[in-house]
Chains A and B, each alone.
Chain A
Amino acid sequence: MGLDILFKIAGVGILVSVFHTALKQAGKEDMAHLCTLAGFTIVLLWVVQLLGKLFNTVQDVFKLF
């Protein structure tokens, strides 16, 4: 795993915050929250995959199961 995933997550975070601000200024609070939720879901998908890899590595290292 490189550092690129961290930069991707940071990029999504920055863009989601810009989306949120722009939509909130336009009076569309519900869309702003929806957008934040979408960004969170995308990042969560990436992180869950990484967590899966981490658990597999822990299992291999400690010879569990």
Chain B
Amino acid sequence: MWLKLAGGIVIVLVSTYVGFQMAARCNGRPQHIRQIGCCLASLKSYIHYASLPLQEAMKQCTQGIHGPVAEFFHRIANILEEHSQQSPQEAIQTALEEFTGKLLLKQPELELLELLGANLGIMNRQEQVNYLTMIIEQFEKLEIEAVRFRDLNTKMYRYLGLCGGLALVILLV
């Protein structure tokens, strides 16, 4: 009897935890997209007005931003510094592979970041600024969509976690 009770409580707690974790991932995505947008806007300014080298601009653009997004941009800068033969696209791809679990991004954002790498550092300054403006606009659209997705799904994940655990306990008892 006590064993059943303890097992049931453990199942409910674990499923609730999983539900809340999924809700937290859902919550974190718009924030990460917003932070990437801020970094890119800052990067655009550093390229346009300060004409900094790419790795230096990548490091500077994360000022005021903390967490995985800042670490991601720092990592790209480090890769560009350490392996100067690598193109920005390769550096971004390597950094994306390293930050797979830390960045709470989905496929559209990842594709956009890879697209960013494809044209960064090869065109002239004005073209890069235009290109970055376009990418930032795309990120803004994705942020709106991510916020809508978060509003819809955060509560659902929490409810499903708790109720799924309860349903499992009822079925097992």
Q: Is A22's CB within 8 Å of the partner chain B?
A: yes
Of all chain A residues, the one with the shortest Cβ separation from B167 is A15
* Interface size band for A: 10 to 19
Total A-B contacts with CB atoms under 8 angstroms apart: 35
Query: 1/0 per position for B157-168, CB-CB distance to A under 8 A?
Result: 001100100110
Q: Which of chain A's residues have a CB closer than 8 A to the CB of B153?
A: 26
Report A's interface with B, CB cutoff 8 A. 8, 11-12, 15-16, 18-19, 22-23, 25-28, 42
What is the minimal beta-carbon distance from A1 to any residue of chain B, in angstroms?
A: 16
Report B's interface with A, CB cutoff 8 A. 152-153, 155-156, 159-160, 163, 166-167, 170-171, 173
What is the minimal beta-carbon distance from B15 to any residue of chain A, in angstroms?
A: 12
Quick check: A8 and B170 within 8 Å, CB to CB?
Answer: yes
A8-B170, A22-B155 known; 8 other A-B pairs, CB under 8 Å? Answer: A8-B173, A11-B166, A18-B159, A19-B160, A22-B156, A25-B152, A25-B155, A26-B155
Of all chain B residues, the one with the shortest Cβ separation from A17 is B163
Q: Which of chain A's residues have a CB closer than 8 A to the CB of B163?
A: 15, 18-19, 22
